[in-house]
């Protein structure tokens, strides 16, 4: 990863190398953490964070599910995100990772007596699945691992431990030469990618699995649904059978890391990518995140960067 200079940790900026935790932290042993993945993009007004409020709201919801009281309020966390971007001079945009975890002091599975620590890091991170994949699509494969279900681990929380499920799926398909894993839920219907939501296009309409299909309710997914409505593209949230992916006119995945990424193969079945609807939604999305769409204003939170140091040394 591309290191930045400073990380916000429990209320203060520390050097990147000093952002350490104790080896007996609860979160490290049991996955008792909640986190967000957020992006900021370069705009004409400076770096702007995409849907920051919505991400922080989801962090709060994830923490609430695990009864993890966040020691900082929404406004403090928003300020901290701005501070991290400014302190690291990330004018060209970045990936932002706020994380809250059960800290050091208590072992065993009852977590409520352990402290809650919070950190926010930001660094430059390009296209998650590669620039080329945004243009020509990825090869995806349905993993033999089923996605965690609402009766095991709530998929609607973005908690550290649940990503072991995604990791198993990602390892399996990567070793098979595919770029991304798709997971079926316990009922055998399509759920999510390892770190993305999924859409297919059938007869001019978008189809995407509903929250009860054990998806993470993605903010990029919500964005694409809103943009589709604006474009007059019908959106249907319903269960999706695996073989529907093979017969789809278009398939794409969405996520903060992966953005809006076409899928050109599922289980070795070729799919035209990017199809016209994927391309239209990609265009709207990529315009929105850099401040060039009529919806941008409501979604972007611009960071005020420190004034550059005057060039040329002493003015005498
Ligand atoms: C399992 C899963 N589904 C979907 C998403 C997409 O969510 P978002 O668009 O909010 O990044 C993610 C990424 O956070 C994820 O991990």
Mean pLDDT of 149-174: 96
Nearest atom in ligand 1 to 58's CA: 10
**pLDDT score of 316:** 44
182 lines ligand 1 (CB under 6 A): no
Express each pLDDT in 57-96 by its tens digit.
999 999 999 999 999 999 999 999 999 999 999 999 999 9
Q: Among 3.30.70.270, 3.20.10.10, 3.40.50.300, 3.40.50.2000, what is the CATH number of 131-299?
A: 3.20.10.10
Mean pLDDT of 158-177: 98
**pLDDT score of 229:** 98
Report the b/e string of 23-59 with b at 16+ CB within 10 A: eebbbbebbbbbbbbbbbbbbeeebbbbbbeebbebb
**pLDDT score of 312:** 67
Residue 296 has pLDDT above 80, yes or no: yes
| Domain parsing of the chain, residue ranges | 6-123, 131-299
36 lines ligand 1 (CB under 6 A): no
Express each pLDDT in 203-234 by its tens digit.
999 999 999 999 999 999 999 999 999 999 99
Beta-strand pair 269-270/259-266: antiparallel
160 lines ligand 1 (CB under 6 A): no
pTM: 0.96
Ligand 1 centre to CA of 316 (Å) is 54
- Active-site residues, by number, are 158
CATH for 6-123? Answer: 3.30.470.10
Percent of the chain whose pLDDT exceeds 90: 95
Nearest atom in ligand 1 to 221's CA: 9
Ligand 1 centre to CA of 255 (Å) is 5
219 lines ligand 1 (CB under 6 A): yes
Report the b/e string of 266-302 with b at 16+ CB within 10 A: beeeebebbbebbbebbebbeebbbbebeebeebbbb
DSSP-derived 3-state class of residue 197: strand
- Measuring from atom 8 of ligand 1, which residue has the nearest CA? 218
Ligand 1 centre to CA of 110 (Å) is 28
**pLDDT score of 314:** 52
């Amino acid at each position: 990863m591309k290191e930045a200079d400073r990380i916000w940790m429990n209320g203060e900026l520390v050097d990147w190398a000093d952002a350490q935790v104790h080896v007996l932290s609860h979160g490290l042993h049991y996955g008792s953490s909640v986190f967000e993945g957020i992006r900021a993009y370069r705009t004409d007004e400076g770096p702007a964070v995409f849907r920051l409020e919505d991400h922080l709201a989801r962090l709060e919801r994830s923490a609430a599910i695990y009864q993890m009281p966040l020691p900082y309020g929404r406004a403090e966390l928003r300020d901290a995100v701005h501070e991290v971007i400014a302190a690291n001079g990330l004018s060209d945009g970045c990936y932002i990772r706020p994380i809250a975890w059960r800290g050091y002091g208590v072992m065993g599975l009852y977590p409520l007596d352990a402290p809650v620590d919070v950190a926010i890091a930001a660094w430059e991170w390009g296209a998650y699945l590669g620039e080329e994949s945004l243009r020509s699509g990825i090869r995806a494969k349905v993993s033999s691992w089923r996605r965690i279900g609402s009766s095991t681990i709530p998929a609607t929380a973005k908690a550290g431990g649940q990503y072991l499920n995604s990791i198993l799926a990602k390892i399996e398909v990567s070793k098979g030469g595919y770029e991304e894993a798709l997971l079926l839920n316990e009922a055998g219907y399509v759920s999510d990618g390892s770190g993305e939501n999924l859409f297919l296009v059938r007869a001019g309409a978008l189809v995407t699995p509903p929250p009860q299909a054990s998806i993470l309710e993605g903010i990029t997914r919500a964005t694409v649904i809103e943009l589709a409505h604006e474009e007059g593209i019908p959106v249907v949230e319903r269960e999706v059978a695996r073989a529907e992916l093979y017969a789809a006119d278009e398939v794409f995945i969405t996520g903060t890391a992966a953005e809006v990424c076409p899928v050109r193969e599922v289980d070795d079945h070729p799919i035209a990518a990017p199809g016209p609807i994927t391309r239209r939604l990609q265009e709207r999305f990529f315009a929105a995140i850099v401040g060039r769409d009529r919806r941008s204003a409501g979604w972007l939170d611009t960071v005020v960067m420190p004034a550059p140091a005057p060039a040329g040394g002493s003015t005498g």
